[in-house]
Amino acid sequence: MIAAFIKRIRDFWFRPILEQTRKLENEAEKSRVLLGNIYLESIKKREVHSLADVEMRVFSQWGEDGIIQYLISKVPIAKKEFVEFGVEDYRESNTRFLLINNNWDGLVIDCSEENVQKIAQSELSWRYNLKSACSFVTKDNICDIIRNAGISGDIGLLSVDIDGNDYWIWDVIGADTISPRIVIVEYNSVFGREQAITIPYDEKFSRSAAHFSNLYYGASLKALYLLAKKKGYIFVGANSAGNNAFFVRKDVAGGLTEMDVEHGYVESKFREARDKNGRLVFLSGSERKKMLDNLEVYDVQNNALIKL
């Protein structure tokens, strides 16, 4: 009785507020998409020398929305589907603008049940053909997760950002599962441009637990570049933030310019290093790599574990 009474009072006072909040969020989203399209029109008139020239942020963390729109205007996409993992609650992601603005289908994956429930209960999941899966992605389960979602073959885009085993996960996603025409993979610019290295594979890897600095994760750009070549992709550049690399399948790359690591590498400006007490120490440049001295990494060219 008391619980029911409290619920009625709560619904009476708070439901209108929640409904108004949803309306405001929907209107704000529409405005962002509209402004994004206006900006896209201005991008079309530019002379493009690098991916930084076409950056635009609508829902992406940095300028990935604009880069993706530029790439899909150059790469023929037969099957407008995407797979993205490491999306948190999907409010900020690489594929949300693709979903809303271009009406693509897709699968998003996150390891948090709370995040995935938010996505599943959001309007995106009924307005669009968006599937969501809750899983901690590993080499052993990623292909099954994708297949179980009914996604296969020659799809448009794959986005990998899990702050850890990114290299190893992309490595196991073979063409017998999906063959994305565009691939976005986060790289760790702290590892520099010279070495082709990644963290050793650890099924339970957690960036925050692996090393106090929060800088020990992922793979170098060169490691991803070599993996891309092996899988039949060309490297077309990185975002200006220095954390995401863009690859296009060679057979559909058309007039896009292939870049090498020397010219395509962008050093990140993030000053997110922490001391042993978890406090930010605001290091930049090569000072960050010194914090990782003597940590073990995997050299993908020589197939050997080495010390940084």
pLDDT for position 4: 62
pLDDT for position 1: 59
The domain spans of the chain are 46-307
Residue written as token pair 């922490």 = 274
**Which of the following CATH numbers is that of domain 46-307: 3.90.870.30, 3.40.50.150, 3.40.718.10, 1.20.1440.120?**
3.40.50.150
11, 64, 146, 248 from 26: Cα distances, Å = 21, 22, 29, 33
DSSP string, 124-158: HHHHS-EEEEE----TTTHHHHHHHTT--BS-SEE
pLDDT for position 5: 57
pLDDT for position 63: 94
From first to last of its 308 residues, what are the pLDDT tens digits of the chain?
566 655 565 665 556 665 666 666 666 677 787 777 887 787 777 788 899 999 999 999 999 999 999 999 999 999 999 999 999 999 999 999 999 999 999 999 999 999 999 999 999 999 999 999 999 999 999 999 999 999 999 999 999 999 999 999 999 999 999 999 999 999 999 999 999 999 999 999 999 999 999 999 999 999 999 999 999 999 999 999 999 999 999 999 988 999 999 999 999 999 999 999 999 999 999 899 999 999 999 999 999 999 99
pTM equals 0.91
CA dihedral of 204, 93, 145, 173, whole degrees rounded to 10: -80
pLDDT for position 26: 66
CA angle 56, 70, 162 (to 5 degrees): 65
